[in-house]
Copies of this chain bind each other. A is one copy, B any other.
Amino acid sequence: MSIAGDLIRGHTDAIILARLLRSDSYGYEINKMISNLSSGRFELKEATLYTAFKRLEEAGFIASYWGSSGAGARRRYYAITPAGKEACHQLMLEWKETKEIMDQLLITEE
């Protein structure tokens, strides 16, 4: 990955929630989506991902259920909750503000 995790830190929850806003999904797939959407430039480490799931579930922003596994390894699916949608919206606003502020702070001309 070309972008260090610390640069994204504080935004991983937003990333995950944004993915679940589209549809229910499971860890492995979400990680692939993130890799694809960033053209391979960013990838969440598995430990980070699962820690985030735990954090988000404890916060009530996502709920999990085991996929009705007919074939393939078992999958734990996650669904975003109403509170999670609310939080996602909020986090996106914060990202917008972070961008504005950072761009201001990095200006070097008069």
Contacts of A47 in B (CB 8 A): none
Across the interface, do A34 and B105 meet the contact criterion of CB distance under 8 Å?
yes
Complex: chain B residue closest to A22, CB-CB: B108
Which residues of A line the B interface, CB within 8 A? 2-11, 14-15, 18-19, 21-22, 34, 37-39, 41-42, 92, 94-95, 97-99, 101-102, 104-108
Complex: chain B residue closest to A6, CB-CB: B10
User: Assembly of this chain: how many copies?
Assistant: 2
* Closest CB in chain B relative to A21 CB, distance in Å: 5
Across the interface, do A38 and B94 meet the contact criterion of CB distance under 8 Å?
no
Across the interface, do A7 and B98 meet the contact criterion of CB distance under 8 Å?
yes
Given the contacts A6-B10, A9-B10, A15 and B106 also touching, CB distance less than 8 Å? yes
